[in-house]
Amino acid sequence: MNDDTPNSWEARADASSFYGFTDLPTVNERGSTVLTHGKGPYVFDVHGRQYLDANSGLWNMVAGFDHSGLAQAAKDQFDRFPGYHSLFGRQSDQTVMLSEKLVEVSPFERGKVFYTNSGSEANDTMVKMLWFLHGAEGNTTKRKIITRKNAYHGVTAVAASMTGKPYNSVFGLPLDGFLHLTCPHYWREGRDGETEAEFTQRLAQELEDMIASEGPDTIAGFFAEPVLGAGGVITPPVGYFQAIQAVLKKYGIPMISDEVITGFGRTGSLWGCQAYDFMPDAIISSKNLTAGYFPMGAILLGPALSDRLQDAADAIEEFPHGFTASGHPVGCAIALKSIDIIMNEGLIENVNEMSPRFWDHMNRLAQNPNIGEARGIGLMGALEAVQDKATKTPFAGDLSISEAIANTCTDHGLICRPLGQAIVLCPPFILNNAQMDEMFDKLETSLNKVFAKFA
């Protein structure tokens, strides 16, 4: 347990911090966790306790918490040119090199890159880009954005409106014109007797019906995560993106792949769209882009959107949008090193080498009578807790079952993430066999302890 003395780190944190996305009853009961440093996949708190971080920080610390090459890239760039913007026709050489590299490693034959400071800002910016180009082309009614229930696209007012989570209602969101389709979760949303292929076709028909109902001339774009990350690691049903994309192409609606989580290796492919074999019109990147060592987001525009946006900007002689730290030279230097590490120093290979062991463990734990489903891909997975496996009945909400599991894991030196009634694992790409086994041993111990109490 954490120290609750008046001058402890935990008390100081509680006195001075306003917590976001934090289960406040847990903090009130247990206190916060104040960390000091990390080593490999482990982090350490102010009391010297060690935790295996199965969250990779927040999906992003894929090279671990003390990668010397990433730290050195930052130090060297701070010494050389510590900060600048990418506005007014000026940008750093690192920014140019990163843009070239991103286009090179993207699935696009050519394109352009726009920088932000986060995935939320990148999604927000992409919406403004769509509004901008449609308006420039004379389609001023094309303003509506389609996403899915349980999707997560960020926390700005626009990105939160795209995020299909009920908690956004406390902000009076979503804004008008943001539409949400059925969550593509076959295990939970499939109807009795409905095959996975039939489920896919139903969702594609739902999209087409929505477009017809709203009017094709009102739809600006469709955004989708290849795997719904903060929705609970929900993988698409078979043939989903092919069916969805066929509808979008029929009506000329741009498709944006939000790869804040899936980009740069998490699925075992470099891009999530490659893992699920579809070609978007643009890609949103963040998190793994800098391996968590710098806040950065990027929009990778495919050929068609690049050309259309350039034409729209040329017509008024600018694109009136940007951020002070867009294309920050230190962030770009770190991103260049991160991409090199992931692609050329064995990280993405290790994802694919470790995935079978990961899924052997996941499938083994899925045999527990209180685990309804194990789902995911690559090194991202979720275990859904259920009161009754046969009926998929969840635990009573007031039990906060996933919080109880996550807190018990913390007591055993493992950090994992509760999402709904699921526990999510997304470990760093550097995990070895012993660390993988340690992660699942601690999780299994925690699951057994919690289920013995509540099941």
Q: Domain limits at 449?
A: 33-66+347-454
What DSSP state is assigned to residue 228?
B
pLDDT at 400: 93
Is there a single domain that holds both residue 157 and residue 289? yes
Separation between Cα atoms, residue 17 and residue 240, nearest integer Å: 42
Separation between Cα atoms, residue 94 and residue 333, nearest integer Å: 6
Residue 43 lies in a domain: yes
pLDDT at 4: 63
Is there a single domain that holds both residue 149 and residue 279? yes
Is there a single domain that holds both residue 180 and residue 238? yes
Is there a single domain that holds both residue 379 and residue 270? no
In sequence order, what are the beta bridge partners of 113? Answer: 300
Backbone torsion region of residue 172, taken as left when φ is above 0, otherwise alpha when ψ lies between -120 and 50, otherwise beta? left
**How many angstroms separate the Cα of 171 from the Cα of each of 25, 36, 99?**
21, 34, 36
pLDDT at 7: 82
Select from 344, 361, 396 the last residue of a domain. Answer: 344
Angle separating helix axes 329-344 and 93-105, nearest 10 degrees: 30
Select from 313, 328, 344 the last residue of a domain. Answer: 344
Is there a single domain that holds both residue 288 and residue 420? no
Is there a single domain that holds both residue 410 and residue 309? no
Comparing CA positions, the residue from 1, 37, 51 lying closest to residue 439 is 51
Structure tokens at 331: 């962030």
Low-confidence ranges of the chain (pLDDT < 70): 1-4
Residue 308 lies in a domain: yes
CA 362 to centroid of chain Cα atoms: 20
The residue with tokens 């302890």 is 449
Is there a single domain that holds both residue 151 and residue 39? no
pLDDT at 1: 52
Residue 337 lies in a domain: yes
Q: What is the pTM of this model?
A: 0.96
Is there a single domain that holds both residue 320 and residue 410? no
Separation between Cα atoms, residue 270 and residue 285, nearest integer Å: 12
Contact 243, 353 (CB under 8 A): no
Structure tokens at 179: 């539409």
Residue 16 lies in a domain: no
3-state secondary structure of 148: strand
Is there a single domain that holds both residue 310 and residue 337? yes
Residue 124 lies in a domain: yes
Q: What is the CATH number of the domain that holds 284?
A: 3.40.640.10
Is there a single domain that holds both residue 384 and residue 298? no
Is there a single domain that holds both residue 366 and residue 250? no
What DSSP state is assigned to residue 303?
H
Select from 293, 310, 344 the last residue of a domain. Answer: 344
> Which residues, other chains included, contact 20 with Cβ-Cβ below 8 Å and sequence gap of 6+?
none
Contact 428, 64 (CB under 8 A): yes
What DSSP state is assigned to residue 388?
B
3-state secondary structure of 374: strand
Count CA within 13 A, CB hemisphere, residue 373: 19
Q: Starting at the edge strand that comes first in sequence, how are the strands of the sheet with 417-419 ordered?
A: 371-377, 380-385, 422-425, 417-419
3-state secondary structure of 78: helix
Is there a single domain that holds both residue 256 and residue 400? no
Q: What is the CATH number of the domain that holds 413?
A: 3.90.1150.10
**How many angstroms separate the Cα of 134 from the Cα of each of 86, 128, 146, 307?**
25, 10, 16, 13
Residue 26 lies in a domain: no
Give the count of domains, the chain.
Answer: 2
pLDDT at 306: 98
Contact 31, 37 (CB under 8 A): no
pLDDT at 233: 98
pLDDT at 6: 73
Residue 7 lies in a domain: no
Residue 9 lies in a domain: no
3-state secondary structure of 38: strand
